[in-house]
Amino acid sequence: MGVTMSSSSSSSSPYYLEGSPTAVRLNGVIGWLARRGLSLAGSAELTVRGRTSGKPQRIPVNPHTYEGAQYLVSARGHSQWVRNMRAAGGGELRVGRKVREFTAVELPDAEKLPVLRTYLERWGWQVDGYFKGVTAKSSDEEITASAPDHPVFRITVRN
């Protein structure tokens, strides 16, 4: 049904799970709602500048707080927004008229375990299918093994 999965274990390409046409349409609705001030379960719309086009790319995300810091986790893997974030070093989160500009630093795999576990505890109902069987109840070893497939950025909101 339009889902493409590449896995770092079966090829040289980093893991990325492309959204189905239904998921793409749903993301469009969630982003539209966030632009109008309605956050579903804490979602926001991410805007990040395209690394080659320079044009803003918008996509709904689930900002995640762990030990007072904010993070963005890419459940689908090494997506376009991830690649753009690496190049741009930051972006904006929007819910309605509230726009928060931020800088972003990608975490090394060795630091992702507690963020991924708490992210899965909070958002697992929505994203478990993207983690290839790994859930919040998985062992530390299983979550750590999945870390390379799921980029995590610590974001710092600019004042």
Could you report the per-residue pLDDT of 16-58, keeping only the tens digit for each?
A: 767 667 666 666 667 666 776 766 667 899 999 999 999 999 9
Cα 143 to Cα 125: distance, rounded to the nearest angstrom:
16
Higher pLDDT, 5 or 41: 41
Number of domains into which the chain is organized: 1
Q: What's the CATH number where 124 sits?
A: 2.30.110.10
pTM attached to this predicted model:
0.83
Sign of the torsion angle spanned by Cα atoms 63, 64, 70, 76? negative
103-152 pLDDT, tens per residue? Answer: 999 999 999 999 999 999 999 988 888 999 999 999 999 999 999 999 99
Domain of 56, in residue numbers: 5-157
CA distances from 86 to 49, 51, 65, 82, 140 (A): 10, 9, 20, 6, 26
